[in-house]
Amino acid sequence: MTIPVADPVQKHLQAKAPQMLALLRRIVEVESPSLDRAAVNRCGKLVAEELRQVGGKVVAHPSKTTGDHLEAQFLWGGERAADGKHLMLLGHLDTDRKSTRLNSSHT
């Protein structure tokens, strides 16, 4: 009988859930309103540090008007994929366009 790949991946992720949720909380708690460049960069610094801890080569691409853009590269199995295939993940670090504070009663 062959074990589906999803089973070990799911077990691994379930075991890591508490750490992943703690990291998510840390990131969310860094206030990063869209129009506050310094605040967005503080959030970016935290994310960049976390990406480096898991082996990412992180480069910040400066922006004059918004938070800097992060690029993180990872090697699969210690080297670039021979077939030239890549995986790109996109996200954002700002919370919203207003300078609102998180409501701690909802956490």
Cα gap 5→88, rounded to integer Å: 22
Residue type, 74: F
The pLDDT tens digits of the residues spanning 54-63 come to 888 999 999 9
- For helices 37-53 and 6-28, what crossing angle results, to 10°? 150
Tell me the residue type at 90: L
DSSP the chain: -PPPTHHHHHHHHHHHHHHHHHHHHHHHTS---TT-HHHHHHHHHHHHHHHHHTT-EEEEE--SSSPPEEEEE--BTTB--TT-------------SS-PPP-GGG-
Any bridge partners for residue 59, and if so which? 71
The reply to whether the predicted model has a pTM over 0.85 is no
- Please write the tens of the pLDDT for every residue from 19-64: 999 999 999 888 898 889 999 999 999 999 999 998 889 999 999 8
Provide the 10 A C-beta neighbour count for residue 32.
22
